[in-house]
Amino acid sequence: MTKPLEGLTVLDLTHVLAGPYCSMTLCDLGAHVIKVERPVIGDDTRAFPPFTKGKSAYFAAINHGKKSIALDLKADADRAIFDRLLARADVILENYRPGVMERMGYGWDDLHAQYPRLIYGAVSGFGHTGPEAKRPAYDMVVQARGGVMSITGEKGREPVRVGASVGDIVAGMFLCQGVLAALVDRERTGLGRKVDVAMLDSQLAILEHAIAITSVTGTPPGPTGARHPSIAPFETFHASDGLFVIAAGNDVLFEKLCVALNLPLADDARFATNPARVENARLLKRLI
């Protein structure tokens, strides 16, 4: 198969995870990604263990397939090289704090005036507008501020960070979606767009059941361990030889589960529908 983004060039000024996750996806889809790093230091993740043959496996996992160049965008000679790269680029990505690119002369307004077809993708903790735009953020900061940590973990225990870096990764995925949409839009209009993604907004966007519950009841949900608060049975169970998962997401699957376990519960009014099973989730778990 040919790759759908073959022939497109992406200038990637991003570092650590959110931005590089976006450029990794674009690269996997066939784009020619040129990663621009700071001289000597490079991307922070080059120092993240584990290491193999003296190089970071973490860095390699997120930056595979990309080309790399070290440029100091405060040095005239390096800026001249960067300007030549800009002239052939379709997309530029950055995840600096808002205002940094403008101070270097590479903000959206400057670039759009000079390269009207260029798509500008930015990801930051709190976006380029609003009262908190200038604040820095890391994955765990937005997991906490966005509320994901408040529903992760077990009841009565401290909030828990999601094991994967969803604060960064989800923002990178939304940035990728925005860039792809801007590429489609450019086919119609001939013009590039600015795609501004906030990590905090991205976290709120994935709180599907928490937002629904809070909107209706006025009370935000707390942690429920592995259990889903809106579906039952949908959690972990202990067996004699270890833990396993049951996820019966509708009435038909619950009937099949009852047959498989030889449990006469499918016609019991307490468990016949999903709302009833959720209401009686603790009893249902004990019976299973």
28 with 162, same domain: the answer is yes
275 with 177, same domain: the answer is no
Phi-psi sector, 222: left (phi>0), alpha (psi -120 to 50), beta: beta
Asked if 229 and 236 count as a contact pair (C-beta separation under 8 A), the reply is no
* DSSP letters for 126-178: S-SSSTTTT----HHHHHHHHTTGGGSS-TTS-----SS-HHHHHHHHHHHHH
pLDDT tens-place string over residues 14-69: 999 999 999 999 999 999 999 999 999 999 999 999 999 999 999 999 999 999 99
**Domain boundary residue among 205, 222, 245?**
205
Angle between helix axes 166-189 and 18-28 (nearest 10 degrees) is: 50
238 with 118, same domain: the answer is no
pTM of the model: 0.91
78 with 136, same domain: the answer is yes
171 with 44, same domain: the answer is yes
**Domain boundary residue among 155, 185, 205?**
205
Residue 197 domain boundaries: 9-205
CA torsion through residues 106, 110, 31, 140, sign: positive
Tell me how many domains the chain contains.
2
49 with 162, same domain: the answer is yes
179 with 127, same domain: the answer is yes
Tell me the two tokens of residue 219: 């009370």
The pLDDT, as a whole number, for residue 122 is 98
195 with 56, same domain: the answer is yes
CA torsion through residues 184, 185, 188, 194, sign: negative
- Quick check: is 228 in a domain? no
CATH number of the structural domain spanning residue 18: 3.40.50.10540
| Residue 228 annotated as catalytic | yes
- Please name the helix (run of DSSP H) or strand (run of DSSP E) that holds residue 52, with its range, or none: strand 51-52
- How many percent of the chain have pLDDT more than 70? 100
Tell me the two tokens of residue 202: 């991205």
**pLDDT > 90? residue 113:** yes
How far apart, in whole angstroms, are the C-alpha atoms of residue 3 and residue 43? 27
pLDDT tens-place string over residues 200-248: 999 999 998 899 999 999 999 999 889 998 999 999 999 999 999 999 9
CATH number of the structural domain spanning residue 253: 3.30.1540.10
Give me the amino acid identity at 53: K
273 with 151, same domain: the answer is no
- Quick check: is 222 in a domain? no
Catalytic residue among 32, 64, 112, 228: 228
199 with 260, same domain: the answer is no
